[in-house]
Amino acid sequence: MANALGLVSSSLHCFRWRNRAPLWLSRSDKRAPFICCAAGDDDVEGHVLGTASSKAYRPRVIGMGSKLVGCGSSVPKLLISNDDLARIVETSDEWISVRTGIRNRRVLSGNETLSGFAVDAAKGALQMAQLEAEEVDLVIMCTSTPDDLFGCGTQVQRDLGCKNAWAFDVTAACSGFIVGLITATRFIKGGGFQNILVIGADALSRYVDWTDRGTCILFGDAAGAVLVQACHSDEDGLLGFDLHSDGHGHRQLNALAQGDDDKLISNSNGAPLFPPRKSSFSCIQMNGKEVFRFAVRCVPQSIEAALEEAGLTSSSIDWLLLHQANQRIIDAVSNRLEIPSDKVISNLANYGNTSAASIPLALDEAIRGGKIQAGNTIATAGFGAGLTWGSAIIKWG
């Protein structure tokens, strides 16, 4: 496996799963409703809080493969062009497009919510997969900008009507979708899950300093989703993967928690004052040059490692689909892997960097636009804050 070091660390921690022989496991206990609140302790919709699903018992079969059978996406109505930004900060359409490849981005406005777009994207994936919400076992919400501090996976599960599903959030910034996708395949292989929604959604516009032309030109809001379904191991659509993190690079890209004041408030005796001050998050801080160097070095290495696990070469893949961060990064990685431009998926010009949403958003457009066909092999990779990065070699359909 290629050695994909991050910015400055001398050691690397790589998380890998190996294929194992299928094992069939069934449980004899049947599920019963579980109520964790007092009688009459209903929510505003009359639903008894804490009641488990009443779906029929289904034996869990582990050792299964995974395939992608549906996708969907959703973006806000408000479009912000480069010319619009030129009215706010000292920049121009040419300056932005030459350096990033971005011309437009969408941002939340009015009553729009991130969870609302996540729901719309997931509905598209369910419709394509011809699956009902009640058939979903798990919802993985990949976001770093939830509507609620504690995450919004369960709200998405509720609004979709996935009453038989468990839901949780994954926070891995621009690598979030790749992490969620690989996590879904592990729940299928090792946990016997059948149908899993993986949603990538972010609203980084909430944390952008709109007076900083170095960052405000880059980011947009969106949501994308895929439906991952259990299949026979011979039909496994995840051919190989590779995941990494390097916390030494955290200082290069972050949005830190911060208090109301620069200094701690204390009593006259020097003891900290209680209650503590309110906290919020700073705007996104990024060292663009270092992040660029990190991406063009580590992402090709990660893809090569995943290809090696899959027993493939870069010439074997049909499409390269990277996190849509910067066109220069996309071009540099494709050149390093010797993948021609006509095999590279990019919609960066229309949406900017949408973080965890960028890969499923571009995937959905490419599939619905007829570019990606059933059976095509796709090399995909995410990279971003943490620092985290990873890749997956997948087969569509």
Residues known to be catalytic: 174, 323, 353
Decide if 366 contacts 321 (C-beta within 8 A).
yes
Burial class (CB in 10 A: 0-12, 13-18, 19+), 250: middle
Query: What is the torsional sign of CA 327, 332, 334, 340?
Result: positive
At residue 48, φ and ψ (nearest 5 deg) are -75, 115
Q: What is the DSSP string of 121-146?
A: HHHHHHHHHT--GGG--EEEEE-SS-
List Cβ<8 Å contacts ≥24 apart for 369-372. 371/319, 371/345, 372/318, 372/319, 372/345, 372/396
What are 112's strand-pairing partners? none
Ramachandran assignment for 40, one of left (phi > 0), alpha (psi -120 to 50 degrees), beta (any other): left
Please answer whether residues 107 and 122 qualify as being in contact, where contact means their C-beta atoms are separated by less than 8 angstroms.
Answer: no
Q: Which residues of 200-231 are buried (b: 16+ CB within 10 A; e: fewer)?
A: bbbbbbbbbeeeebebbbbbbbbbbbbbbbbb
